[in-house]
Amino acid sequence: MHSPLVVLGGGPGGYAAAFLAADEGLEVTIVESETRLGGTCLLRGCIPSKALLHVAKIISDVEELRQDWGVDYGERPNVSIDKVRARKDQVIATLTGGLGQLAKRRNVTIIQARGSFIDSTTLRLEGDHESIPEGGTLTFDQCILATGSVPAIPPAFDIGSDRVMDSTGALSLPDIPEKLLIVGGGYIGLEMLNVYASFGTKVTVVEMADRLLPGADADLVKPLAKRIDKLCEGRVLVGTKVGSLTEVDDRIEVTFEGPKHFGHEQFDRVLVSIGRRPVTRGLGLENTKCIINERGFVVTDTQQRTADPHIFAIGDVAGDPMLAHKATHEGRVAAEVIAGKASAFDKVAIPAVVFTDPEIAWAGLTETDAKKAGVEYQVEAYPWAASGRAQALGITDGLTKWLVDPETHRVIGCGIVGTGAGELIAEAVLAIEMGCEMHDITDSIHPHPTLSETLMNAGEVYFGTATEIF
Ligand code: FAD
């Protein structure tokens, strides 16, 4: 079988690329090893985690009502884990079903098989699904590689126990453990911490770096770290390494090595969330001209072309940040380039959101990155304690800040911590993409009373004209 364009992998990078290419009039085939399209994001990432985090947020809001605001619904919530799991699975089923319809409407062929390269224009297809063509090979003119990433589990933690989970295991909600250890204080670990702690699990989090979310700006992490410390009742072990995991009866014994925390403790379950690795092994990439860099990513240019003229690469397999919207955007670029358009990806404002409570979001340059790169910037922050809406909502620990080029007054970065930060950051993405100057933000009327005003207020602080109107 021959298909002019083959997309290997049906995640948010792959299916977006396939749909956009079909919209450009190209004949497209997706090769996906799973039974459904959607990839990590839809099946075991962004969407299931947000479905669970929404439940967690309602529980914590009700708890706040009870403790501080004089509305008491009675006892602590009684969580029916089967129902929570069923709702999350229904959300996934609705969305994956929709993807199947969208593929059909565009005449995109879907082959359910594991694909690997025999050479630069031929894939071997393995599996037993009826969609696999006779002979088990598929030739193409162009291929978009979109095989994504999988959790990285070091061999020392891979002890063959189902009590040691990765993010996929944690999202499947096997039960509500009494004691859970989360290894890794990155965004995936902290999102799952919010979920399990709100269900009543005693969570401990251990992070090798000296603070949670080591890649994010410290002032944004501070309010979240405070909230997490409360949720975990102090069981936040930073600057601490996990030495070993051993299954002892129905529990996992963990040894800790760190200046402050040394010794061992038993847990019902352990979630290992210390990072993800791009899927390049077993793909036969050595039979192509693709180059893999020292971090395991397939090297591409700004048009998503690899070193092999027949192969493009997008999404998690093609480099950081490993985020769904970055994968989708790269999919768009690859599809448009293959369709003959002069598209390219200038990565100036990829937003990142940590969907914890409170949320953290940033776009453009962070202070951490600006300092590393020696970029001159001026930073102006607006504390949410001065926002009427934040006071009304009881979320005064938030902060909105802009990074500005002091010479041109252009906005070059934005960071927000607080409820809804993930929605608020979209304005900053647009501003940075459009090359806005700080006055463009302050001259734009923001609705009152909203949290979006804090973006305007932080700009006013920059000009020394802040007018606190509550
Ligand atoms: P993937 O989604 O990983 O899809 C790759 C597809 O390729 C898979 O379906 C796989 O089965 C298929 N495949 C692999 N090898 C083969 C082969 N040889 N043959 C055939 N098929 C193959 N990102 C966000 O932006 N926001 C979030 O809130 C967010 N939350 C997350 C929460 C969790 C718990 C996790 C784990 C991830 C989260 N992410 C989030 C990251 C996001 O899921 C990924 O960045 C995104 O899915 C990457 O898309 P992709 O298309 O590159 O790859």
| DSSP calls for 242-276 | EEEEEEETTEEEEEEESSS--EEEEESEEEE-S-E
CA atoms of 262 and 109, how far apart (whole Å) = 55
DSSP, res 286:
G
188 labelled binding-site residue: yes
CA 372–ligand 1 middle distance (angstroms): 29
Q: Has 448 been annotated as catalytic?
A: yes
| Amino acid 457: pLDDT | 95
Q: Ligand 1 atom closest to Cα of 352? A: 25
- Selecting among 129, 264, 439, 448, the annotated active-site residue is 448
- 44, 180 in Cβ contact below 8 A? no
Domain 155-274 sits in CATH at: 3.50.50.60
Q: Ligand 1 atom closest to Cα of 46? A: 30
- Check if 384 has its Cβ closer than 6 Å to any atom of ligand 1: no
Q: Ligand 1 atom closest to Cα of 325? A: 25
185 labelled binding-site residue: yes
Q: What would the two tokens of residue 420 be?
A: 């809804």
Q: What is the CA radius of gyration of the chain?
A: 24
- Check if 9 has its Cβ closer than 6 Å to any atom of ligand 1: yes
- Check if 39 has its Cβ closer than 6 Å to any atom of ligand 1: yes
The label of the residue with tokens 């162009």 reads 142
- Check if 461 has its Cβ closer than 6 Å to any atom of ligand 1: no
- For the question of an ipTM over 0.85, the answer is yes
Cβ neighbours for 228, distance < 8 A, ≥ 6 positions apart:
190, 193, 205, 212, 236, 356
| Amino acid 70: pLDDT | 85
- 214, 207 in Cβ contact below 8 A? yes
Quote the crossing angle between the two packed helices 12-23 and 324-338, to the nearest 10°.
30
What is 2-48+82-150+277-339's CATH topology? FAD/NAD(P)-binding domain (3.50.50)
- Check if 48 has its Cβ closer than 6 Å to any atom of ligand 1: no
| Amino acid 342: pLDDT | 96
- What are the start and end residues of each CATH 3.30.390.30 domain in the chain? 351-463
What is 351-463's CATH topology? Enolase-like; domain 1 (3.30.390)
CA 132–ligand 1 middle distance (angstroms): 23
- What are the start and end residues of each CATH 3.50.50.60 domain in the chain? 2-48+82-150+277-339, 155-274
Q: Which amino acid residue places its CA nearest to atom 41 of ligand 1?
A: 323
pTM of the model: 0.96
Q: Ligand 1 atom closest to Cα of 149? A: 3
pLDDT per residue of the chain (470 residues) written in tens, 0 to 9: 999 999 999 999 999 999 999 999 999 999 999 999 999 999 999 999 999 999 999 998 888 888 888 888 777 788 999 999 999 999 999 999 999 999 999 999 999 999 999 999 999 999 999 999 999 999 999 999 999 999 999 998 999 999 999 999 999 988 999 999 999 999 999 999 999 999 999 999 999 999 999 999 999 999 999 999 999 999 999 999 999 999 999 999 999 998 878 899 999 999 999 999 999 999 999 999 999 999 999 999 999 999 999 999 999 999 999 999 999 999 999 999 999 999 999 999 999 999 999 999 999 999 999 999 999 999 999 999 999 999 999 999 999 999 999 999 999 999 999 999 999 999 999 999 999 999 999 999 999 999 999 999 999 998 888 766 66
